Structure 1
């Protein structure tokens, strides 16, 4: 890690499983969720204040919506969130035939289409029903399309600068994969591995791409975020965090030069919690020498 890199805890409020950070340029706030805590949080670096909405069910992601408010994955429902009214309205249901499934990570592509994945029920801490999940898209007219099935834990995703490649993580595969991506239709093809996690790196979880098209992957149980060049499959940099269960990341702040990283504390023993007092907190990494890209908003 470069010597100028600085890691600081910015949201000490501990999340059971903090996930899916998104920087809102218009509000200058960080949006993220606590999956098991069943809350969507909005944190302002300017005021250091957190606002929250309770979702009533596990929430996998929340993303801005062009028409206002947010879209979130709550249980198996993709819902519209009215922040001021603290209400949610269902837009679509997925995995109707798998009532114990839930939505996990989600992200909006450059044309405003929402990609959202599901996963099976957790049978015990860190033990999941395998190959129960799928990857769906939701278009502006609320058409749902299934792109992948037999997914273990649908997780991080992002797109190349030219939108012709879609990067995707199914966590238990221990790989970051790429697909050929047709921007107009969202069609995915030609799946291949661009990076396989090494011993000790943990499970690949949430992911974001920077302005140079390189990938930053949060490594669950690895205590780090790794920077990958998808064109060569080479790990360029490792950012170590003071917590093991790093869950996701995004760029934000002035000029998108800060990397925000979420984490989890669910499943840690009392001894592990003593060793990692910041488990479940959200961190800001500065001095990386790279910039991110603005997040996309759902067009529906």
Structure 2
């Protein structure tokens, strides 16, 4: 296993939402509180960014062209060439301090995206005021789950029968039975529980991805680590340690989907900590992980 830096200090605040586009061979990601959308071309090495206003927490390609992005409590369409942003809808209007957080598309190309309560410091959150939503191909919004604190990483098994969902506080990952046709989830159970474990070693569960063998790869804020976990047993199979503490999310990419890309953040680090962690906010690539993923799904609406 080897860890390298793809883009040093690419994000001044919180890098998040990595998505590998198999068509363009580009990695897209966001810098949440800076309000920037980034795109790195793996073939040319070109790195571009567009400022759309903070906070922006997800960027996912659209099958019809461009991207779907979040901006605060709003979902919007972004045309990369013209840099034009077209609002679609807003959520959680009764809680204007909430914001969108992580998002991902299921096999049918529906966007699953969650919100989070107002956060004064990583993990210090207004509780049970946010939601998990599903945004279908007809651009209808469905509320999947309420009383959420920090909605975060998502993944589905290869057979589309199980949905994994990170609820960052109280530091758990849940599994649900998943009905692909309806999008309904049921039978909630805990598959990862870090509530009694050290923050320094296990951190706060954040973004995640899944490999071809249905093992989840969970990035943990404050821990410097991504864990490969067997969700059936809860056993940690592999641990990847980085030279910065705030690892936020990950996705598979590369020609064979055997490279793991990871984002990181500077938020919550003091000036002294930042001096000791010069790679905070960087984008990393991990090779030789003995696992492969699948292409990220574009939004079909």
TM-score by length of 1: 0.96
SS at match of 1:273: helix
Matches within 5 A, 1:192-211: 192-197=189-194, 198-199=197-198, 200-211=201-212
Distance (whole Å) between structure 1 residues aligned to residue 239 and residue 121 of structure 2:
30
Distance 2:122 2:208 in 1: 23
Structure 1 residue 70 corresponds to structure 2 residue 71: no
Structure 2 spans left out of the alignment, 5+ residues: none
> Aligned to 2:58, what secondary structure does the other structure show?
strand
In structure 1, C-alpha distance between the alignment counterparts of 2:91 and 2:163, rounded to whole Å: 21
The count of aligned residue pairs is 296
2:98 is aligned, of 101, 121, 125, to: 101
Matched, 1:295 2:292: no
Secondary structure at the residue paired with 1:274?
A: helix
What TM-score comes out, normalization by structure 2 length?
A: 0.96
Following superposition, the deviation at residue 46 of structure 1 comes to 2.5
The aligned counterpart of 1:172 is 169
Equivalent residues in 2 for 1:129-168, closer than 5 Å: 129-168=126-165
Task: Provide the secondary structure at the position in 1 that maps to 2:189.
Answer: strand
Instruction: Give the superposition deviation at 1:126.
Output: 4.6
CA contact (8 A) 2:60 2:68 kept: yes
Deviation >6 Å, runs of 4+:
none
> SS of 2:267's equivalent?
coil
Check conservation: 1:18, 1:247, Cα contact below 8 A.
yes
* CA deviation profile, 1:27-72 (whole Å, cap 9, x unmatched): 1110000001100100122222211111112101111111011101
Which residue, out of 26, 29, 32, partners 2:26? 29
Distance 1:291-1:125 versus aligned 2 partners, 3 A rule: closer
Q: CA deviation at 1:254?
A: 1.5
Q: Does 1:220 align with 2:221?
A: yes
Are the equivalent residues in 2 in contact too, given 1:14–1:265 (CA < 8 A)? no
| Contact 2:163/2:176, CA 8 A, preserved across alignment | yes
Give 3-state SS (helix, strand or coil) of 1:271's partner.
helix
Q: Distance in 2 between matches of 1:156 and 1:34?
A: 16
* CA offset digits 1:201-244 (Å, max 9, x no partner): 00000000011111000010010000011122211110001110
For the residues of structure 2 that align with 1:100 and 1:257, how far apart are their CA atoms? 38
Q: What does residue 258 of structure 1 align with?
A: 259
Q: Verify: 1:53 aligned to 2:50, yes or no.
A: yes
Report the CA distance shift for 1:193/1:124 in structure 2 as closer, same or farther (over 3 A).
closer
Equivalent residues of 2:148, 2:167 under 8 A apart: yes
- Alignment partner of 1:6 out of 2, 5, 20: 2
Task: Say which SS state the counterpart of residue 140 (structure 1) adopts.
Answer: coil
- Offset, 1:13: 3.1
